[in-house]
Amino acid sequence: MPVHLTSFDIGATRKMKYSMILRLLQEAAGRHLEELGLSYSVLREQYGMVFLLVEAAVRIHRLPAYGETVDAETWFCGVEGVKFGRGLRICSGDELCIELGSHWVLVDPDTHRIVRPSKFPVPEGMQTTSDGPMPVPLEKQRSGLLFSSEGEPVPGVCRAGKRVVRYSDLDSNGHVNNAVYVDMLCDFFPDGFSGHAFSGFKIDFLGEAKEQETIGIRARRQGNTVFFEGQVETRPCFVASATVVE
C-alpha cells in the first residue's frame, strides 16, 4: 500500500509522526481485509463482529520524512487463543524503515464481548495458520505498576497529567482511536519530548475510553526506557513502554 507523506502526517521534526505508524497499520489491515471481501461494513453488518487492536510492538530503524512515498505491507501471522496476529513492514524504496507486530481480537460491536476466532468467516485465499512471521515479538507488559489501588501515582512516579477525551479522538467504534494513544506517549513524556526520539515502543490497550472521560496518565523513566500507564478513574486503559534514542 503506497502512501505519500504530506504535511498532515509530519511532526515538528519534519519526520513522520509516531502515531502515523498505527494509522498505517489500521489502514493497511482494513484494505487487506477488503481485498479478501471482508470490509469493516461487511464484518459488522453481515457477521456482527469487528476487529479491535489490543497490542502493538514497533521497531523503528528510521522515521520517513516529509515528501517520501512509503509502502506499507501487512500480513496475517496466525491465531493465538483469541488473538489474531498481524505484521506490518513500512519501507521507503528498498529501505526497511519500520517493523511492527500486533494482536487483534474480534468483538461484538454492540456488546463488546469477544467473538471466538472459530466464528470468523475465513475467506478463500486467507491462511488460518500464518502468512509470515511476527516481525517484532509481543512481550507481555504488567499493568498497575504506576498507580496505587486508589488510582494515585506510586512513590517515585511522575504525575504526568490528565487527558480529556474529545470527539475528534474517537474512531468508528466510538472510543479513542489507538493511534491517539501514541501521541499521548509524546505529549506526556517526562520533562517534554522536544529533542528526544523513540527507537521503538510497545503499547497494550486494556480498556476503552469514550468522549468526555478523563484518562489519568503516569510515566516513569529508567535509563533509556520510559514506562507509561493510563487509567480512566480506576479502570486500566493502556500500558506502554518506549525506548529513547540517546
64-73, 132-141, 232-241: the lowest-pLDDT one: 132-141
Of 88, 119, 150, the one marking the end of a domain is 119
Sign of the torsion angle spanned by Cα atoms 151, 153, 159, 160: negative
Quote the domain boundaries for residue 29.
2-119
Residue 22 lies in a domain: yes
The pLDDT value given to residue 18: 98
Phi/psi at 29 (nearest 5 deg)? -65, -45
- Give the bridge partners for 237, in sequence order: none
Mean pLDDT for the stretch of residues 149-157: 58
pLDDT band at 148 (very low <50, low <70, confident <90, very high): low
Residue 146 lies in a domain: no
pLDDT at 58 over 90: yes
Percent of the chain with pLDDT over 70: 90
Residues 9 and 113 in one domain: yes
> Would you state the cell numbers that stand for residue 17, as one nine-digit string?
509522526
Q: Which 3-state string (H, E, C) describes 138-197?
A: CCCCCCCCCECCCCCECCCCEEEEEEECCHHHECCCCCECHHHHHHHHHHCCCCCCCCCC
Output 129 or 170, whichever has higher pLDDT.
Answer: 170
Interval 90-107: pLDDT, tens: 999 999 999 999 999 999
50: which DSSP letter?
E
- Angle (nearest 5°) at CA 221 between 104 and 96: 50
The pLDDT value given to residue 39: 93
Q: What is the CATH number of the domain that holds 18?
A: 3.10.129.10
Residue 224 lies in a domain: yes
CB neighbour class for 86 (10 Å; exposed up to 12, middle 13-18, buried from 19)? buried
Residues 96 and 173 in one domain: no
Mean pLDDT for the stretch of residues 154-178: 85
Residue 32's identity, in one-letter code, is H
Of 100, 119, 138, the one marking the end of a domain is 119
Count of structural domains within the chain: 2
Residue closest to 188 by CA, chosen among 135, 145, 146, 127 = 146
Q: How far apart are CA 56 and CA 61, in angstroms?
A: 16
**To 10 degrees, what angle do helices 178-187 and 19-35 make?**
170
Residues 107 and 167 in one domain: no
The pLDDT value given to residue 133: 76
Q: Which residue has the cell 516481525?
A: 135
Q: How far apart are CA 115 and CA 106, in angstroms?
A: 5
Tell me the average pLDDT of the chain: 90
Residue 37 lies in a domain: yes
User: pTM for this one?
Assistant: 0.90
Residues 36 and 101 in one domain: yes
Residue 226 lies in a domain: yes
Write the CB contacts of 224 (distance below 8 Å, at least 6 apart in sequence). Answer: 243, 244, 245, 246
